[in-house]
Chain A
C-alpha cells in the first residue's frame, strides 16, 4: 500500500511505518520562533531544565512581527531574543530581514524536512515538500532542546487541480475558493496534498501562497511534491544541494480527493470575519475600502509585487483609499527595487513599510480605524485581526488588491487589465 507525501516524510524521520493515525516521534530538521511567540518559548526553555540547543544552526529566531518595534515592551522582548540567540549560538534574523516564512523558503527549508515553528503559518514551507507545521511555545521549546517531537500521522486530503488560471486569476483565488468549499475546519488535523496538471506548472511563489493558507482550513500541513519547479527554485536560491525529489506513491491512500478546475475559478474574496466566507470579487463590486494592504507571507513576494505594479503603473490609488505595501523579505525588496516595481508602486502613492508582519496581525504599520474596511493580500480576516475589532477585513489576490486600490471599492481585476 502506497504512501502520501506526509506519510513518506514521517516514515523517514521517525523510523516507524508512519501510516495515517499512527503516533510517531519524529526528528525535526529546522525549528524557529518569531518575536511574539519567542519570549514565551525562551522562558519555557529556561524553565524546562533543557540547557543546550540540540542543533543551534537549525534553531532560528526571527524579529519580524514588530519590525522595527513600535513600543518599549516589544523592543525589550527583542533584547531577550537577541541575547538568548547569541548565548546559545542560534541563528538570528533581525529587524528588516523580513517575514520568517519567506526566509525559511528562501534559505532554510528543503524537500523531506520536518520543520516546526512557533507560528501557525509555518505550513508555508510545505510548498517545498517539507512537513512544516506550527506549534506553540512549549512544544517548540522542547524541540529546541530535544531535536524531536511527537505527531499523529495525518490523514491526507488530495486536492487535484486541473486546467489553467484565466487572466486575472491566481493561486490566491484557488486557495480562497478551496477554503470556501471545505470550510475553516474542513481539513482540521489533516494534511492537504496538492497535485494535478495545474500544480506541475505552478511557480514556487504560487505554491507558497497556497501552502501558507492550508492552516486556514485547519490543516496540519499543506504539501506539494518536490519536482523540477522545486529544483529550479532551490537552484535560484543557491542551494540546489538541498533538492531531492519527493512525490506521493501512485497507490497512496487518501481520505478523499477534491478536484478543482483552475480554469473555472473567478477572482475570489473572503468577507469578514472568517476566511471561508467567500464570494467572487464581482459579487462584492462597489464595497468601499479605506485601506489596501499588499504584502505578508501569503502574497508579499516578487511575483505578487510585479502583478500589483503591472496594474498600478502610471495610475494613482483612489483618494479615499490608502495603499500600504510590505515586501515579504529584504531579498524581495531588493529584487523589486531592481525590477522597478517599488518605483512604480511608490509613484502610484503606496506607503512602503519594512518587510515584516506588523499590519497583518494588527501590531502597527496599517492598523484600521473604527468602522473602516481593508482589502488585504494576507491570510486572516478574523475580527480584530488588523488591530481593531470595530473594523472589517476582506482577503484577496494582489491583482484584486491593486484594482481595488485604483477604484476605492472592491473591483474584479479583469476590469482594469
Chain B
C-alpha cells in the first residue's frame, strides 16, 4: 500500500513542463535538475512534494520528448506513482523502465490535496478525503514484469535479455 497526497495537473503536461530543454545542462547533475521538476506546470511543486505523494494528471501526460530525465526526476522527487487519464507512449515506457508506476484511471474523481492510498496488487485507489474508491487499468504483462523486477536494468540483469513469456 502506497500513501500520499495528490498533486493535480491538467491535460497535455509535456516533458518540457517536467524537464525543460533550457535546463539540458543540468542533465548530468540530476539532483539539481530534480529541483526544477514540473517547474513550467507548477513552479511550487518541487518545494511542496513529499516522499510517497502522487502526480495526478489529466489526459496525454508526458507527451513530447523521449528524455528519460522527465520520469527520472519525478521519481527522484519522491513521487510514488503517476495517475493519469492517459499517458504518452514514450513517457509510459520510460517510467516503467525506471520502476515508477503509471496508473491509468479517472483522475477527475480526485481533487488536488486529496489523501490517497494505492494498492498496486489489487489495482485500487482509495481517496481517503472524499471516500471514493477507484480502479486502474491493469499494466500490460511485459511492462508489469519489468516493473516488478524493479525496472529495465534490473530486469535485464536478472534474465539476461527479454523473455517471450512476458508477452
Which residues of A approach B to under 8 Å, CB–CB?
Answer: 22-25, 36-37, 39-40, 44, 47-50, 65-66, 70-71, 73-74, 76-77, 80, 117-120, 122, 134-139, 141-142, 146, 148-150, 152, 184-185, 188-189, 218, 220, 274, 361-363, 367, 380, 382-385, 387-389
Contacts and interface: CB of A to CB of B under 8 A. Distances in A.
B64 interface: yes
B107 interface: no
Given A39-B28, A119-B66, A120-B65, A367 B22 contact: yes
A71 B23 CA distance: 11
B16 A136 contact: no
B2 interface: no
B9 to A, nearest CB: 12
A20 B89 CA distance: 16
B51 interface: no
Closest 5 pairs between A and B when the two form their complex, measured CB to CB: A23-B167, A136-B68, A361-B21, A136-B94, A73-B25
B47 to A, nearest CB: 17
Nearest to B71: A136
Contact of B69 (A40, A76, A135): A40
A65 B98 CA distance: 24
A73 B26 contact: yes
17 contacts: A36-B24, A47-B153, A49-B156, A71-B25, A73-B26, A122-B66, A136-B68, A136-B94, A149-B162, A188-B86, A274-B12, A361-B21, A380-B16, A380-B64, A382-B64, A383-B40, A385-B20
Contacts of A47: 153
Contacts of A361: 16, 21, 24, 65
Given A73-B29, A77-B28, A362-B21, A383 B16 contact: yes
Given A138-B94, A274-B12, A382-B64, 12 more contacts: A119-B66, A122-B66, A142-B153, A146-B162, A148-B161, A218-B60, A218-B89, A361-B16, A383-B40, A387-B20, A387-B21, A389-B39
Contacts of A49: 156-157
Contacts of B12: 184, 274
B74 to A, nearest CB: 13
A118 B67 CA distance: 7
Contacts of B86: 185, 188
A48 B59 CA distance: 33
Contacts, number: 157
Contacts of A65: 21, 24
Q: How large is the interface on B (under 10, 10 to 19, 20 to 34, 35 or more residues)?
A: 35 or more
Contacts of B40: 383-384, 389
Nearest to A47: B153
Contacts of A77: 27-28
B89 A384 contact: no
B97 interface: yes
B24 A218 contact: no
Given A37-B68, A118-B66, A185-B63, A218 B157 contact: no
A134 B60 contact: no
Contacts of B156: 48-50, 142, 146
A407 B104 CA distance: 46
B72 to A, nearest CB: 8
A39 B21 contact: no
Contacts of B167: 22-24, 150
Contact of B140 (A25, A146, A152): A152
A122 B65 CA distance: 10
Nearest to B14: A382
A387 B22 contact: yes
Interface string B73-105: 000000000000010111001100110000000
A388 B21 CA distance: 10
